Structure 1
Amino acid sequence: MSGTVLVVEDDRELRELVRRYLERGGRRVRSTGSGAEAIGLLAGGGVELVVLDLGLPDIDGREVLVAARDQDQQVPVIVLTARSGVDDRIDGLRRGADDYVTKPFSPTELVLRVEAVLHRTSRGEGAAAAATTFEGGRLRLDEVRHEAHLDGARLELTPTEWGLLTALAATPGRVYSRYELINQVRGYEFPGYERTVDSHVKNLRRKLGHDAARIVETVLGVGYRLGWTRDR
Structure 2
Amino acid sequence: MTRVLLVDDDIELGEMLTEYLEREGFGATAVSDGETGVAEALSGEYGIVVLDVMMPRMNGIEALRRIRARDSRIPVLMLTARGDDVDRIIGLELGADDYVPKPCTPRELVARIRAILRRARLEESSSSSSGSLTAGPLTIWPEKRGVEWDGLPLDLTSTEFNLLEVLVRNAGRVVSKKELSEQALGRPLARYDRSIDVHLSSIRHKLGGGEGRSPIQTVRGIGYQFLKE
Please state which band the TM-score falls in when normalised by the shorter chain: 0.7 to 0.9
Tell me what 2:99 maps to. Answer: 100
> Using a 3 Å threshold, how does the CA distance of structure 1 residues 98 and 135 change in structure 2: closer, same or farther?
closer
Q: How does 1:29-48 map to 2 (within 5 A)?
A: 29-48=28-47
Q: Which runs of 5+ in 2 are unaligned?
A: none
CA offsets per residue over residues 27-57 of structure 1, 9 Å max, x none? 3323200111111223333432110111113
TM-superposed deviation, 1:149: 2.8
Counterparts in 2 of 1:88 and 1:38: CA distance versus 1, 3 Å = closer
> Is the Cα contact below 8 Å between 1:3 and 1:46 reproduced in 2?
no
Quickly say closer, same or farther: Cα 1:70–1:60, change in 2 above 3 A: same
Task: Tell me the TM-score normalised to structure 1 length.
Answer: 0.82
SS at match of 1:191: coil
> Map of 1:19-34 to 2, 5 A cutoff?
19-34=18-33
CA RMSD of aligned residues (A): 2.7
Report deviation, 1:83. Answer: 4.0
Contact kept? 2:207, 2:214, Cα under 8 Å: no
- Aligned partner of residue 101 in structure 1, secondary structure: strand
Residues 174-206 of structure 1 show CA distances to partners (whole Å, capped at 9, x for unaligned) of: 10233432343331222323x433222110011
3-state SS in 1 of match to 2:208 = helix
**Cα distance in 2 for residues equivalent to 1:228 and 1:188:** 27
Q: Is the 8 A contact 1:131 1:140 kept in 2?
A: no
Map 1:74-89 onto structure 2 (within 5 A).
74-89=73-88
Q: Which residue of 1 aligns with 2:131?
A: 131
Q: Does 1:192 align with 2:188?
A: no
Task: Report the secondary structure of 2:148's partner residue.
Answer: strand
**Residue 105 of structure 1: how far off its partner (Å):** 1.4
Percent of aligned positions with the same letter in both sequences? 37
The CA distance in 1 between the partners of 2:129 and 2:204, in whole Å, is 25
**Cα offset, 1:10, TM superposition:** 1.2
* TM-score, structure 2 as length reference: 0.83
d(CA) in 1 for partners of 2:176 and 2:135?
A: 23
Partner of 1:201: 200
1:1-232 matched pairs, under 5 angstroms: 4-122=3-121, 123-125=123-125, 127-135=127-135, 138-186=137-185, 187-193=187-193, 195-209=194-208, 213-228=213-228
- Segments of structure 1 that go 5 or more residues without pairing to the other structure are none
Contact 2:42–2:72 (Cα < 8 Å) also in 1: no
- Offset at residue 100 of structure 1 (A): 1.5
How much does 1:7 deviate?
0.8
